[in-house]
Amino acid sequence: MATIKDVAERANVSISTVSRVVNGTATVAAAKRDKVLQVMAELKYQPNSAARALAGNKTGMLGIVANDLADPFFATLLKGVETEARQAGMQVLAACGHHDAEQEEAAIRSLLSRRCDALIVHSKDIPDQQLLDLLSECPVAVVVNREIPEIADRCIWFDNLAAGYMATKHLLAQGHQNIAWLGRNQNITDNVDRYIGFCNALGQAGIDHNKAYKAFGEATVEGGYQLAYELIRSKSEVTAIMAYNDAMAAGCLRALHELNYKLPDDCSVMGIDDVILGLVVYPQLTTVNYPVEDIGRTAVKKALALLADQQLEMTNHFSPKVVIRGSVASLRKSVLRKSGS
Amino acid sequence: MATIKDVAERANVSISTVSRVVNGTATVAAAKRDKVLQVMAELKYQPNSAARALAGNKTGMLGIVANDLADPFFATLLKGVETEARQAGMQVLAACGHHDAEQEEAAIRSLLSRRCDALIVHSKDIPDQQLLDLLSECPVAVVVNREIPEIADRCIWFDNLAAGYMATKHLLAQGHQNIAWLGRNQNITDNVDRYIGFCNALGQAGIDHNKAYKAFGEATVEGGYQLAYELIRSKSEVTAIMAYNDAMAAGCLRALHELNYKLPDDCSVMGIDDVILGLVVYPQLTTVNYPVEDIGRTAVKKALALLADQQLEMTNHFSPKVVIRGSVASLRKSVLRKSGS
DNA sequence: GTGAAAGCGCTAACAT
DNA sequence: ATGTTAGCGCTTTCAC
């Protein structure tokens, strides 16, 4: 591939002049500029980013650590990040943690090694202190979906507790009392917080959450399916299911269909996340919106502001919002229907 | 961040020695090696990839051009690419084309500029010749989901025509005759090929495809929904819908539910792609498997082989496979049910 | 086994 | 407005 030197020689100018034309860092005589531009095209010149990074001490790359790129949740986060980064002329370098502490660390290290100008980190498996330690090597790092007190101003998170609370409140408002919790069998903060929100709402309604129906499994469509299938067969008095996330809720819906439940009247189902899955199931899922794409964009904005040393004040805390669709019915209606059949 | 020089000084060795320890390119006396290792840890040394790339003339980066990272299809492709790349110790650099020729070109250029060792390209909007021209600047490029005669050996594609054909055959085998085609309103080869497959199957069954029911719209859940809704209301004699992809098929299912169709008996629906959406809808979608993740992995393997100058012979052509789930019923059953109601 | 030194392609002073 | 030059941090000969 052609280098800046090749271009300079062919255009009879110095490499500085070529550099100026490429970067627009200073004015160049029109004739020379045109000649350079022409030669660049002829030679299909593409500046070497490695050399640029080395000389200029910035790479123009934004690193992002996610868990699993195929998961709609991370894919959406990534999209938000990419959109915003591209607008700022930066490239996104993605590395996967695969829900594993060691791989998460390796992912961060490789991004560090690439000298990304900034890092957006989604990590659940590395302990706070170790993460802080790793990130201390990075000029700018923003943490998403996690709150670390020491760097609270560089954390962007979603209020999972409020999400669990609001979702459950919504179910209670529809008259449901026998509400089951379909949880995730993994103690990450998301899960714990949503569950606490669930318990709080129940407690406030005078329902003892210890007596609430609960089942725990994998946070996937399949996990939700299996859990719901078992639960409903043994506890037919349950009139509403609060799932940890939309994937589980979708599995849940499928199980109920298979058990010939008429939805949503025979049983209401509520999710949290608001991913695309909720739009394709029938009935469409009533859920709580988790603005992932927005979070991704905000994380990048924050990172860019930090890079530019602007103290740009912005929310780093996103609140949930209930999205009403078709999977939750009021209990009254359900009961009427049941007694009628 | 610490440099190789810092490490060398602190360990009382030359930078060459540090380099040797880091890369294992030559044996170093045990004592020195240990000292270097220790200092590296103390200083949290991370080799600067830019400098490495510049000096070593390879970046260890694999570039991938996709359209939209949030689309489950590309997300899965990306996952396959990432998995395979990571095993080979390479990092993935993603750039988006956003279904637009100019942006696709910009994406490729930026990847070229980054001096990726190899490129995996998914491009639909750039004409063959221009794409060849762009890729000629890249040491190794593999094209996915497209066949360009000049570089056929570096193309990995899926037989869309066979997919359309097999899917339609499946519908015909269930006795359906009034089959509607829910197509994409954009002439990319995928769409055209699948449609030709559809027509061929129909023709073989003695059905004039010109008279077949057709509707075209956006290849999304929403697009499928709207199209199906309109189509079914005006052409109730349709007993089966062949959708361009799973997303449209999912939208289709929703429309039918809303029209109070009993599925799959009142109307069968078939998709193509086999993405996660098909597992959450009810009934689960009968579709044709498109092994995207596999294609992603194969593309990387091919790229790596090319990099290593191995002439590794491998399939660069993936065939479809029908995946039978619950959204297609045999016509006989449907008719019986209809006359009985 | 180890160190010195020459680049890799570029940017950013610094001259002119 | 333009050219010269000194690095950026590393790999890789080439000597010893």
State whether B44 and A137 contact (CB < 8 Å): yes
Residue B209 has pLDDT above 90, yes or no: no
**Predicted local confidence at residue B288, as pLDDT:** 98
A4-36+46-158+294-319 and A160-286+324-339: identical CATH topology = yes
Q: How many residues does chain B have?
A: 341
CA dihedral A224, A227, A232, A233 (to 10 degrees): 140
* CATH superfamily, domain at A4-36+46-158+294-319: Response regulator (3.40.50.2300)
Average pLDDT on A96-103 reads 91
**Predicted local confidence at residue B32, as pLDDT:** 95
**Predicted local confidence at residue B159, as pLDDT:** 96
Average pLDDT on B67-93 reads 89
Structure tokens at A92: 């996104």
pLDDT bucket at B11, cuts 50 / 70 / 90: very high
| Nearest protein residue to nucleotide D5, judged by CA and C1' positions | A16
State whether B276 and A281 contact (CB < 8 Å): no
Residue B193 has pLDDT above 90, yes or no: yes
Cis peptide bond prior to A47, omega within 30° of 0: no
Residue A340 has pLDDT above 60, yes or no: no
pLDDT in tens, A217-242: 999 999 999 999 999 999 989 999 99
**Predicted local confidence at residue B333, as pLDDT:** 62
List the 160-219 stretch of B: residues with Cβ below 8 A of A.
Answer: none
- CB-count exposure of residue A12 (10 Å: 0-12, 13-18, 19+): exposed
**Predicted local confidence at residue B337, as pLDDT:** 54
Q: Which residue of B104, B114, B120, B292 is the best one to mutate when testing the A interface, meaning the one whose CB has the most A CBs within 10 A?
A: B114
d(CA A134, CA A141): 10
pLDDT in tens, A47-70: 999 999 999 889 999 999 998 888
In the numeric block, the tokens 């939208």 are attached to: B251
pLDDT cut 70: percent of chain B above it? 97
pLDDT in tens, B230-246: 999 999 899 999 999 99
Residues 5-34/B with CB < 7 A to strand C: 12-17, 20, 26-29, 32-33
3-state secondary structure chain B: CCCHHHHHHHHCCCHHHHHHHHHCCCCCCHHHHHHHHHHHHHHCCCCCHHHHHHHHCCCCEEEEEECCCCCHHHHHHHHHHHHHHHHCCCEEEEEECCCCHHHHHHHHHHHHHCCCCEEEECCCCCCHHHHHHHHCCCCCEEEECCCCHHHHHHEEEECHHHHHHHHHHHHHHCCCCCEEEEEECCCCHHHHHHHHHHHHHHHHCCCCHHHCEEEEECCCHHHHHHHHHHHHHHCCCCCEEEECCHHHHHHHHHHHHHCCCCCCCCCEEECCECCCHHHHCCCCCEEEECCHHHHHHHHHHHHHHHHCCCCCCCCCEECCEEECCCCCCCHHHHHHHHHHC
Average confidence score pLDDT of chain A: 92
Q: Which nucleotides of C are covered by protein (CB under 7 A)?
A: 1-13
Residue A315 has pLDDT above 90, yes or no: no
Structure tokens at A83: 């959109």
Residue B335 has pLDDT above 60, yes or no: no
Average pLDDT on B205-221 reads 92
d(CA B323, CA B312): 31
Q: At what angle do helices B246-258 and B221-234 cross, to 10 degrees?
A: 50
pLDDT bucket at A266, cuts 50 / 70 / 90: very high
d(CA A110, CA A108): 5
**Sequential DSSP letters for B133-152:** HHHTTSSSEEEES---GGGG
CA dihedral B160, B291, B59, B50 (to 10 degrees): 100
pLDDT in tens, A157-213: 999 999 999 999 999 999 999 999 999 998 888 999 999 999 999 999 999 988 889
CB A9, CB A28: distance < 8 Å: no
d(CA B105, CA B111): 10
Average pLDDT on A6-25 reads 95
Average confidence score pLDDT of chain B: 92
Residue A23 CB-half CA count within 13 A = 14
Structure tokens at B237: 């004699």
**Predicted local confidence at residue A341, as pLDDT:** 43
Average pLDDT on B310-329 reads 90
**Predicted local confidence at residue B340, as pLDDT:** 44
Nearest nucleotide (CA of A52 to C1'): C10
**Predicted local confidence at residue A334, as pLDDT:** 56
Q: Which residues pair with A310 in a beta bridge?
A: none
**What are the boundaries of each domain within chain B?**
4-36+46-158+294-319, 160-286+324-339
Strand D CB shell (< 7 Å): A 12-17, 20, 26-29, 32-33, 51, 54-55, 57; B 3-5, 15-16, 19-20, 22-23, 25, 45, 47-48, 51-52, 54-56
Q: How many residues does chain A have?
A: 341
Instruction: Provide the 10 A C-beta neighbour count for residue A47.
Output: 18
The number of angstroms, rounded, from the C-alpha of B195 to the middle of its chain's C-alpha atoms is: 19
B160-286+324-339: CATH topology: Rossmann fold (3.40.50)
The nearest CA of chain A is from the CA of B100 a distance in Å of 14
Partner residue facing B253 (CB), from A69, A78, A282: A282
Average pLDDT on B64-71 reads 88
pTM of the predicted structure, to 2 decimals: 0.87
Average pLDDT on A328-338 reads 71
